[in-house]
Amino acid sequence: MPELPEVETIVRDLRPHLRERRLEAVISLNPVVLRFPSADSFRGAAAGAVFGILARRGKFIHAPLSTGDHLVIHLGMTGTLTLEDGSEPVRPHTHLRLQLDSGQELRYRDPRRFGRVILGPLAQLTRSRLLPPMGPDPLDRAFAGWPGNGRVTSSARAVKAVLLDQEVVAGCGNIYADEALYLARLRPTRTAASLSASQWARLGSALTVVMKEAIRRRGTSFSDYRDGFGARGEAYESLMVYGRAGLPCVRCGRPLAAQRIAGRTTVYCRWCQR
Ligand SMILES: [Zn+2]
């Protein structure tokens, strides 16, 4: 699943190409991925609108439009959002095609269809919870004080589960939760309440470090993820624990352990992470 670094890479790729481009037509729209509004209302509201500056909130891609609406896309498990020439053949599982005045098309493809497309004024989308509340973002300056919330730090939940909670940290998923815990040398099964203030601080900086490094490598292409132009990211080669269960820990050489926590396979080192 695309996490913060993958979504950020796509947003940075597409931003200069979408800014001030007019959306000429909505060519196709699969109602399965369209959560709000109906396909007809979507077409009516989006056609003719001009794109503002593309942004990311957690794992959501936000395209502000000249109409005052936000076009919001969540890539789910297998979604990709790419800019292609209008003459390129349309690949299977393409659920949304937005024709731009540049002759290019923004295409949303999603074989497993867990992703979603939403359109409306930001306040309305937030109020109706079509956009869920989100915690601080590891790329924000304000993240230094993270988590800064007693409800989080006194919780009996496993710290791995806490990292997957979008209301605690926006944009984190299974890959970068494991990587950050490894970098911070903290065992994923530890309860949140057992972490000291300095350990929380270490974990917070580890989150920022792993996210920034993955962005530098243009994201992790484990299976489906592609950047805004359809190319693979290179962060997979630099992952230290994710996908490496049973392989030697890069720090101590002992085999990495795997355990299910919060329903997700979690990989860590029994010796290096305490
Ligand atoms: Zn180790």
pLDDT of residue 28: 83
pTM (two decimals)? 0.96
Q: Is 59 a catalytic residue?
A: yes
Q: How far is the CA of 268 from the centre of ligand 1 (A)?
A: 8
Q: How far is the CA of 206 from the centre of ligand 1 (A)?
A: 17
Q: How far is the CA of 273 from the centre of ligand 1 (A)?
A: 7
Whether 222 shows a pLDDT value over 80: the answer reads no
Domain annotation for the chain: domains and CATH numbers: 4-127 (3.20.190.10), 141-268 (1.10.8.50)
Catalytic position from the list 2, 5, 138, 147: 2
Query: Which helix H or strand E contains 18, and what residues bound it?
Result: helix 4-18
Q: How far is the CA of 272 from the centre of ligand 1 (A)?
A: 4
Q: How far is the CA of 124 from the centre of ligand 1 (A)?
A: 48
What burial class does residue 116 get, using C-beta atoms within 10 Å of its C-beta: 0-12 exposed, 13-18 middle, 19+ buried? buried
Catalytic position from the list 8, 56, 59, 218: 59
Q: How confident is the model at residue 246 (pLDDT cuts 50, 70, 90)?
A: very high
Report CA-CA distances (Å) from 171 to 43, 87, 168, 174, 236: 29, 34, 10, 10, 18
Look up residue 131 and give its amino acid. Answer: L
Whether 223 shows a pLDDT value over 90: the answer reads no
Q: Is 111 a catalytic residue?
A: no
Q: pLDDT tens across 24-61, in order?
A: 999 988 998 999 999 999 999 999 999 999 999 999 99
269 CB-near residues (< 8 Å, 6+ apart):
182, 241, 249, 251, 252, 254, 256, 257
Q: Is 141 a catalytic residue?
A: no
Please state whether the peptide bond connecting residue 147 to the residue before it is cis, i.e. omega within 30 degrees of 0: yes
Q: How far is the CA of 160 from the centre of ligand 1 (A)?
A: 18
pLDDT of residue 59: 98
